[in-house]
Amino acid sequence: MFDHRKYRRFETVRLTDRTWPDQEINKAPDWCSVDLRDGNQALINPMSVEQKTKMFTLLVKLGFKEIEVGFPSASQPDFDFVRKLIEEKRIPEDVTIQVLTQAREALIKRTYEALDGAKRAIVHVYNSTSVVQREQVFNMSRDEIKTIAVQGASWVRDYAAQYPATQWQFQYSPESFTGTEMDYAVEVCDAVITQWKQTADQKVVINLPATVEMSSPNVFADQVEYFCRHLKQRDQVRISLHTHNDRGCGVAAAELGVMAGADRVEGTLMGNGERTGNMDIITMGMNLYSQGIDPELDFSDIPEIIEVVEYCNELPVAARHPWAGELVYTAFSGSHQDAIRKSVNYHKEHNQLHWDVAYLPIDPRDISREYEAVVRINSQSGKGGVALVLERDFGIELPKWMHTPLSKKVQSAAEEQGIEVSPSSIKAIYEQSFVTVAPQWQLSDYELHTESSQVTAQFTIGSTQFSGKGAGALEALCDALASEYRCTIEVSQFDEHSIGAGTDAQALASICVAINGAVEYAVATNEDTSAAALQAMLTAFSRGRVGAEKEAERVA
């Protein structure tokens, strides 16, 4: 039964004098990838050694300086992978690996055996401190849980002394921090820190996990600010965040947590993790990037990142995934397409210093995306988007008054097919509707003679000769056709411009003409500007003639 009354509002610390809302993020936090541990344990098929190695290589390439590589005391494959990294010297000089362990002596001992020979490493020890875990899982008091944490910290310290060649850092997580009383979380962490020696460049890491996201991000920020205020040795500690995405707010919680005083953020690429996932480092990093802040991670080749993540996780990246998804820089809405087209052109024409394009928060090219993916056409698309596709993909720039008749043709095709219309299909519709002409209506030749500001012209159309007079070649052709076919011809729109430059340049002529009141549109190209205009007129006229003949047949 779907009954909301079985749940109650999450209550935690009430911070009435909070300061984090007035803070701004102006630099990237320290990042730690947990793809190879937290991410890996959430996979249907845990990564093979080959997949782990591929993922580790990618993380190093992206610029991560701290990477949690496994839980070696709990898993033989994790133990073997840590040994592989160390023995094969795969860890760069500026990268610190991190491993997780529970606060149990045998597991801590095994953890150090896995790390033997590492130049530097972070040993991450944890135990759960939340009310639910204490009362329902462990049946222990607050003092008993704190004792576990302190004892674990002392074992971590003592075993590290047996491996003096390694530069050790220690990290502690009060697991399920968000479900722990804040004063008690501070008490436990203060007790752990007293077991460890800190230096200015080797600070202790206290990691605050939203193991389950229990509240809105602002509440989490209050918890973080409270913790930072009350921790006794705050200046000797790096406060780290490890948010999950149960409420869909993992990134927001991490961002507000940094505003509340945190120094470091743990997460995974694309947010893979248990349940709804971990905090997505790509999303948070790109959020910073879009605000002009260096994320200190290189996401310039998003397609490669997606390829590796999908291969290693054996899970697809959603098409609407923030920043990275296939459809993120795609506009189907007609008004959006038109705005993008105009805004991109404005950006180029005015040589804007900063990116400020409608509907595109960043330049897709920054992350190896191309503009051909920006606009795609379906039955919801508008005239601006259709015109942009022709211009962008085929260099065909039509006058604005041609956009509506073209989009109507394309929209009819989209509605009939019920699917997206590809750029090649749009071009085919354009050519079939406005360019293609039967051989008997092709301009073979023409001659112009000018006397007293009037042009007398002879035209060879197909194999038929026509003659006409007018103020120019186009008017003379209209006169010839009107006389021959006893009809009225009125040109309401005409545009001609060059395509390309130099000796290869061609003229593109577009025309809108009413033949006995029936409106037709056509386009033609030719090296000769007059020939292009004349052929556009003939193409439009031929379509009007065909339409009139079909109507006459129908009436008869």
CATH number of 23-313: 3.20.20.70
pLDDT on residue 179: 95
Task: Specify whether the CB–CB gap between 190 and 149 falls below 8 A.
Answer: no
pLDDT on residue 500: 75
Taking only the tens place, the pLDDT of each residue in 477-531 is 999 999 999 999 999 999 999 887 777 789 999 999 999 999 999 999 999 999 9
Phi-psi region of 311 (alpha: psi -120 to 50; beta: other; left: phi over 0): alpha
Q: Name residue 181's beta-bridge partners.
A: none
Q: Are strands 237-243 and 167-175 parallel, antiparallel or unpaired?
A: unpaired
Q: Which residue intervals of 418-465 are DSSP H helices?
A: 423-430
| Angstrom distances, CA of residue 209 to CA of 38, 189, 250, 279, 375 | 12, 13, 11, 11, 40
Mean pLDDT, residues 162-185 taken together: 96
Decide if pLDDT at 388 tops 90: no
Taking only the tens place, the pLDDT of each residue in 9-55 is 888 888 999 999 999 999 999 999 999 999 999 999 999 999 999 99
CATH architecture designation of domain 439-555: 2-Layer Sandwich (3.30)
pTM of the predicted structure, to 2 decimals: 0.76
The domain spans of the chain are 23-313, 334-435, 439-555
Q: Are strands 66-70 and 443-451 parallel, antiparallel or unpaired?
A: unpaired
Phi-psi region of 298 (alpha: psi -120 to 50; beta: other; left: phi over 0): beta
Q: Are strands 120-128 and 96-102 parallel, antiparallel or unpaired?
A: parallel
At 456, list the tokens.
């007398």
At 318, list the tokens.
């959603």
Taking only the tens place, the pLDDT of each residue in 80-116 is 999 999 999 999 999 999 999 999 999 999 999 999 9
Residues whose CB falls within 8 Å of the CB of residue 161, separated by 6 or more in sequence, listed in order: none
Common-topology check for domains 23-313 and 439-555: no
Taking only the tens place, the pLDDT of each residue in 259-290 is 999 999 999 999 999 999 999 999 999 999 99
Look at residues 212, 217, 211, 201 and name the one whose alpha carbon lies nearest to residue 259. 217
Taking only the tens place, the pLDDT of each residue in 447-485 is 999 988 899 999 999 999 999 999 999 999 999 999 999
Q: Is 255 exposed, middle or buried (0-12, 13-18, 19+ CB in 10 A)?
A: buried
